[in-house]
Structure 1
Amino acid sequence: MSATKEVTGTARPLISVEKLSIEFGQGPDCKRVVDNLSFTLSRSETLCIAGESGSGKSLSALAIMGLLPKMARVPEGVILFNDKDLLSQSERHLQNLRGKEIGMIFQEPMTSLNPTMRIGDQMLETVRRHRLATGGGAQQHIRNMLDAVKIPRANDRVKQYPHELSGGLRQRVMIAMAMLCKPQVLIADEPTTALDVTIQAQILDLVRELQSEFGTAVLLITHDMGVVAEMADKVVVMNQGVVEETADIRKIFTNPDAAYTRKLLAAVPRLGTAPARPHPVFGEPVLEVRNLRVRYPMRRQGLFAPARELIAVEDISFTLHQGETLGIVGESGCGKSTTGRALMNMVDFEGEIRILDTDIQGLKGAALKKQRQDIQMVFQDPYAALNPRKNIAELVAEPLLIHGRGTPAERHSRVKELLAQVGLPDADTMTRYPHQFSGGQRQRICIARALALNPRIIVADEPVSALDVSVQAQVLDLLEQLQQEYELSYLFISHDMAVVERLCHRVAVMFAGRILEIGSREQVLNNPCHAYTKRLLAAVPIPALDSKLAPAVMSKDTETVDLIKPRGAVLQPIRYDQPEAGHFVAVAV
């Protein structure tokens, strides 16, 4: 399908936002977080709102949905939808509007999905509320939408709970729920942040298909300028609540007026532009993984049905040296995050994991606590990783308190230093709570907490996926600086190939629980040998107007491998060819 679409400039806008302002607090404590925002959105058009964390992008979207926090005020402005001001409508009217006429994909799927309900039941609520179908037709409508967003084994997924899905699969469920009613307007708040590049490409193409078929207007909020270049007709660039620039996509990328826009574009990491660097000499191995396997038991399909299990990781081996960064890339559900959790001893596993020559299998109590000082983890979902009842000072100091490090005054000083290192130096940061920060700011807090104990190894599970590009660059610089200063070792899990190229010394490509290719950054990214690696690299969106993804890349279905097997099943083994020293490529036996 062609990436281009025709937008009628004279058509009446579906949504018109005029001089919208949003404030928090009153009197001298009043803070304006969105100031004088105006834009229009027409049928079949895509408008991207781009900017850094805390710029007011998501709050503007919540205002359209009538979902602003209770403490927020709208002192001025109107939001017209089909010529009716949404700000003056009743809650009952807005409830009928949400989902049916205006759908929204939220930024953090784990906090948007009900953890006590199965996926199918949550989607069924929407189908019933808006009377889309009944009985078996409702279930079929749900399965069709899960298939449309490339969720494998839809019949099994509808019976699962959110915590049983990977981050990428949860985001795809959110997209499917938003599309159930085929709304006139789709608001997408960082919809592809948690998705690997191949599924991201397919989702973007799916959104375009929806626009073409139903005339859907899309309001896309993102910090990924590659996605902006791929999708947008018009762009609004925001900075600290103020609109820096509004223009069509060609002007933004070829001749932007605002200095801030130029700065934003300059900070975008581009695959293939990482500077060449000499091959460092690493220290001794700090992490050795041999024949790692992780399998999860599945519910029986019937009383006499055979026991089944999900094969999450199957027979992988690798070594991480002192001062080295090993990147693990692959599609959602390939086993990347499960591998990281196994290294933290957070899941049951088979095989051998040695951290600083200590076998961690079976460690409990004081022995496990001692070993955790050497390895820390930055999780993918920052909001779920932070206790909402504790302020930031308590959260960042928690590892120090658990391990008895320092006096209260020393811990306070250490927390202040860590927050400054990750770009949160404000004096009131320490007394605030997680919900008072943007998604990107919460991720920086998680990174600060992981650094508190000066660990030897950090397992970073998508640590910069929620960060805007300029802060992303700062955090990557910080990780490199800390690595050089303390000889830290990183296991860096990511779907952003440009970030992997920027930070990693070696790269491992995973698919269906196995490592298909592993080697140095140059070997894997510049000379990929496995067909799957080549496909991953071909799907990376480039932040340039003349580099749109080919339709063949975007429309190609995900390779599906059924990893739910009878308990104790033995998979076909694989062997590895070595096209050059240190470069290994999987070959089926």
Structure 2
Amino acid sequence: MPEYMPSLSVERLCIDVGGGESRRRVVDELSFALYPGRTLGIAGESGSGKSLTSLAIMGLLPKAASVPSGAILFDHRDLLSLPEGERQALRGKRIGMIFQEPMTSLNPLLTVGQQLAETLRRHEALSRSEVRQRCRAVLDAVRMPQVDKRLAQYPHELSGGMRQRVMIAMAMLCQPEVLIADEPTTALDVTIQAQILELMRELQQQFNTSLLLITHDMGVVAEMADQVVVMNQGRMEERGTLQQVFTAPQATYTRKLLAAVPVLGSAPAPAVLGEQPVVLGVKDLSVRFALRHGWFERPRTVHAVEGVSFDLHLGETLGLVGESGCGKSSTGKALMNMLAYQGSVKLLGQELNGLQGTALQRVRRDVQMVFQDPYAALNPRKSVFDLVGEPLLIHDRMAEPERRERVAQLLQQVDLPRDALERYPHQFSGGQRQRICIARALALNPKVIIADESVSALDVSVQAQVLELLERLRAEHRLSYLFISHDMAVVERICHRVAVMYGGRIVEIGPRDKVLHNPQHPYTQRLLAAVPVPKVGHRRDFKKLLKELERPDPIKQAGFVAPPQQFAAVAADHWVALE
């Protein structure tokens, strides 16, 4: 196909949801074209119709959705008018898709090898040995370590980055002409994100694939896209080259979207707290996991967190940053007594290590957690009243009328209406679900809230709203936050101090501006250099970046006990680990 001919074009596409009087238009008169070897980025907030458009192309729209008008042209045929059998023949073979959440897209009952083989057998007549050879080759192509082992594993046994690689391998298995990537790097840290984007870039060059990249991350758009479409509430606000959209946006909404993107170095100075008492004191915290082993192997131990120490003061937000696998979440769970650990954790002087039963329940009033995925953290069978009021029922035995009034007050604090009480999690957007989780964490008036990647999966405008909410609640209730994140711009926006973790240890800790703008440890410097920037012409050299950020596999160090850490003061309250 000549490069000037589109491989796929969408013409005046309309998508409706619901029926009768409740019918509403969610995509309205959308048009664009994909060209071989080029990338089109579709940007916009949640609910703008980005993902529904991709599902329409794949023929995977939910039953509640319909396409009243428009056309999707591929290979001189309108995909919307094709019989389902012909759509299935194209789906996965000539048009592939990388879905946003691999854990919900992969079959938990089948191994990686079985799922890859199933895709191949559907589209090609191959022998068992040829199928296995192709599966191994495609996992090699996506740089999956220990391919034979991964083929025999189930999705839950893989990390988030590995699951995303499996999704890319499955989408590229039959070398499709069009590849749709729906939020392929959402909630991934900068190094895993760099690996995925470099992989997509290489595969596109190798097979001259047309790439449709759907994302709310404007830094990813700036690095990957040739053309950009900006969507808002189902309508196309703007379309143009990357240069045109980023340097001279015409639509008011596009300018607003670009202005909402958090950029490292743009946050105002944090509020001065002055001398405040220590609320949470952590000393020599270590978390170790026993590895599975065979009959004749010695038991081995992985040191996920080793010798971590820090103090969290009243009204302070301490950011905990680092790559996936560095021990951030394990540290947060240990502080909640959700994991066994060694060392000392003191809340207002009371030792938490070893607490059980009623004593542990009493302490949990004062330490609450907001998890990364609000949908997974909320029971879909319970109403908002039951979910937010549950801590009040467990700890305070509060009667229903008083509990209902308290829950209504909590919802008001997180800017949700009172009528949300009787609704269920699936009836809310991602940002609203995270507000429900925050309301539940506030129910018992805690002193410390551990926020584990609490805004990483939210688009930029919703993210800004949740961050403003957290900051307001901190000031009103004198809360202390341990804010776990991989997004440096978000950390700069909300934190007073920052601790950087690497390989299970803190390597640098100090005031926000000193750590983020004058990093002293080599790892902190490399991590900050890897942050994507929403700016035309700023494209990271992924290969160089990944080489610099290479770190040893912790499993290879199983059983290795590192010597105690020593720190050097480089400025007031700014400490760096000695190599």
Q: TM-score, normalised by structure 1?
A: 0.90
* 3-state SS, counterpart of residue 566 of structure 2: strand
Q: Distance in 2 between matches of 1:170 and 1:152?
A: 12
Does 83-92 or 200-209 show the bigger shift? 83-92
Mapped partners of 1:164, 1:341: distance in 2: 20
Q: Deviations over 1:302-349 (max 9, x none)?
A: 431222333322221212111111111111111111111111211222
Gap runs ≥5 in structure 1: 1-6
Q: Which residue of 1 aligns with 2:395?
A: 403
d(CA) in 2 for partners of 1:275 and 1:288? 28
Distance 1:580 1:258 in 2: 46
**Contact 1:128-1:134 at 8 Å conserved across structures:** no
1:261 aligns with 2:258: no
Structure 2 CA distance, aligned partners of 1:227 and 1:68? 26
Structure-2 separation of matches of 1:133 and 1:533: 49
- Asked if 1:18 corresponds to 2:11, the answer is yes
* Amino acid paired to 1:226: G
Q: Alpha carbons of 1:127 and 1:557: their partners in 2 closer, same or farther (altered >3 Å)? A: farther
Equivalent residue, structure 1, for 2:286: 293
Q: Letter of the 1:528 partner, please give it.
A: P
**CA distance in 2: counterparts of 1:309 and 1:485, whole angstroms:** 43
Give runs of aligned pairs for residues 365-514 of structure 1, distance below 5 A. Answer: 365-404=357-396, 406-422=398-414, 424-425=416-417, 427=419, 429-514=420-505
Q: Give, in angstroms, the shift of residue 125 of structure 1.
A: 3.8
Task: Note the C-alpha offset of 1:492.
Answer: 0.9
CA contact (8 A) 1:443 1:466 kept: no
Counterpart of 1:549 (choices 516, 540, 559) is 540
AA matched with 1:45 = R
Deviations 1:363-400 (A, max 9, x none): 33333322222122121223222222223343333333
How far, CA to CA, are the matches of 1:587 and 1:84 in structure 2?
Answer: 64
Whether the aligned pair in 2 keeps the contact of 1:102 and 1:183 (CA below 8 Å) is yes
Q: Hey, what does 1:4 align to over in structure 2?
A: none
Q: Distance in 2 between matches of 1:414 and 1:549?
A: 49
* Cα distance change of structure 1 residues 68 and 424 upon mapping to structure 2, 3 Å threshold: farther
User: 138-147 vs 86-95, which deviates more?
Assistant: 138-147
Q: CA deviation at 1:271?
A: 0.4
Name the SS of the counterpart of 2:296 in structure 1: coil
1:245 aligns with 2:238: yes
Q: How does 1:22-421 map to 2 (within 5 A)?
A: 22-131=15-124, 142=135, 145-146=138-139, 149=142, 157-158=150-151, 160-277=153-270, 279-300=272-293, 302-404=294-396, 406-421=398-413
For normalisation by structure 2, the TM-score amounts to: 0.91
**Would the alpha carbon gap of residues 177 and 326 (structure 1) be closer, same or farther in structure 2, given more than 3 Å must change?**
farther
3-state SS of 2:578 partner: strand
Letter of the 1:541 counterpart? P
2:531 maps to a residue whose letter is: V
Give 1:3's aligned residue. Answer: none
- Supply the AA of the counterpart residue of 2:340: D
Partner-residue secondary structure (3-state), 2:439:
helix
Paired-residue identity, %: 62
**CA RMSD, aligned part only?**
2.8
Conserved in 2, the CA contact under 8 Å of 1:457 and 1:491? yes
Aligned counterparts of 1:152 and 1:328: Cα–Cα separation in 2: 28
State the shift of 1:436 in Å.
4.1
Aligned length: 579
User: Which residue identity does 1:581 align to in structure 2?
Assistant: A
1:523 to 514, 539, 542: 514
Deviations 1:388-417 (A, max 9, x none): 222334333333333346443444444445
Instruction: Structure 2 unaligned segments of length 5 or more: list them.
Output: none
Distance 2:249 2:162 in 1: 36
Greater mean alpha carbon deviation, residues 47-56 or residues 152-161: 152-161
Give, in whole Å, the separation in 2 of the partners of 1:571 and 1:135: 46
Structure 2 CA distance for aligned equivalents of residues 134 and 571 of structure 1: 49
Q: CA deviation at 1:485?
A: 1.0
Aligned residue type for 2:240: A
Whether the aligned pair in 2 keeps the contact of 1:341 and 1:347 (CA below 8 Å) is yes
Contact 1:19 1:36 in 2 (8 A): yes
Structure 1 residues 149 and 400 mapped into 2: Cα distance closer, same or farther (>3 Å)? farther
Change beyond 3 A, Cα 1:130–1:371: farther
Structure 1 residues 166 and 366, CA, compared in 2 at 3 Å: closer, same or farther?
farther
- SS for the counterpart of 1:18 is strand
Matches of 2:131 and 2:290 in 1, distance apart?
Answer: 29
On the 8 A contact 2:282/2:345 being kept in 1, the answer is yes
Shift of 1:268: 1.0
Q: Which stretch shifts more, 154-163 or 257-266?
A: 154-163
Conserved 8 A contact 1:150-1:558:
no
Cα drift, residue 165 of structure 1? 4.4
CA distance in 2 between partners of 1:125 and 1:173 (Å): 13
Distance in 2 between residues matched to 1:350 and 1:366, nearest whole Å: 21
Q: Secondary structure at the match of 2:467?
A: helix
Asked if the contact 1:79/1:87 (under 8 Å) is kept, the reply is yes
Specify whether residues 490 and 542 from structure 1 end up closer, same or farther in structure 2 by C-alpha distance, changes over 3 A only: same
Indicate the SS of the match to 1:32.
Answer: strand
> Do the aligned partners of residues 347 and 73 (structure 1) sit closer, same or farther apart at CA in structure 2, a change above 3 Å counting?
same
